[in-house]
Chains A and B, each alone.
Chain A
Amino acid sequence: DTAVSQTPKYLVTQMGNDKSIKCEQNLGHDTMYWYKQDSKKFLKIMFSYNNKELIINETVPNRFSPKSPDKAHLNLHINSLELGDSAVYFCASSRGLASTGELFFGEGSRLTVL
């Protein structure tokens, strides 16, 4: 069983479209995250949820809207996609807060905006 699973693995879409990425973890962790990795491999935190509550929003544009229906799931919806949104989006989870313990990453969702 994959600990942190994301779908889809690949998305290719046109500018202006809307897309969603789903994430599920079966580790029983309380905290989940979205990270964005650009073409230069820079990993940047976007959001963090703890027990379904948003605890970190790292000045991400309003076009990005995370949703956590329960503590095992964290989805990311992106409106009006722009070229600069092309990246690999990683979902991650941790038992407590990442500041104190390890992150478990999903396999990533590669988004290409044309």
Chain B
Amino acid sequence: GQQVMQIPQYQHVQEGEDFTTYCNSSTTLSNIQWYKQRPGGHPVFLIQLVKSGEVKKQKRLTFQFGEAKKNSSLHITATQTTDVGTYFCAGPVYRGSTLGRLYFGRGTQLTVWP
């Protein structure tokens, strides 16, 4: 079954509105990564969060890692048309092994209306 849950699946906003996508895991994550995939493109790494309660900012993007390291969020302030794409969270899952598999959430497809 899916290890990393992400909601919502789709989000349509007017340019200038804010946007948030949420990621949840049933197990504690050692870290969480965020990727962006533009339409027709490939996933591109945005950031990695490692510490409990960590908050990182990249211009209009704010990333948070929960205190229990089981959830994370990406918030975009004042969206622009260049923000269009699918945002994925990804977390390592260890199945009784030291080798973690990086599992991706299902992604949130963001559409921005001008």
* Interface residue ranges, A against B (CB under 8 Å): 35, 40-45, 48, 55-56, 58, 90, 97-108
Whether the Cβ atoms of B48 and A99 lie closer than 8 Å is no
Q: B22 an interface residue at 8 Å Cβ cutoff?
A: no
* Interface residue ranges, B against A (CB under 8 Å): 30-31, 33, 35, 37, 41-45, 48, 86, 88, 90, 92, 94, 99-104, 106-107, 109
Whether the Cβ atoms of A102 and B45 lie closer than 8 Å is yes
Residues A45 and B101 in contact in the complex (CB < 8 Å), given A98-B92, A99-B30, A99-B92 = yes
Whether the Cβ atoms of A56 and B99 lie closer than 8 Å is yes
User: What DSSP secondary structure best describes chain A's contact surface?
Assistant: loop
CA distance A98 to B102 in the complex (A): 6
Q: A43-B88, A99-B101, A100-B31 are in contact. List 16 more A-B contacts (CB 8 A).
A: A41-B37, A43-B43, A45-B102, A90-B43, A98-B100, A98-B102, A99-B31, A99-B100, A99-B102, A100-B92, A100-B100, A102-B45, A103-B33, A103-B45, A106-B42, A107-B41
CA distance A42 to B99 in the complex (A): 22
Whether the Cβ atoms of B33 and A58 lie closer than 8 Å is no
Report A-chain residues with C-beta under 8 Å of the C-beta of B37: 41
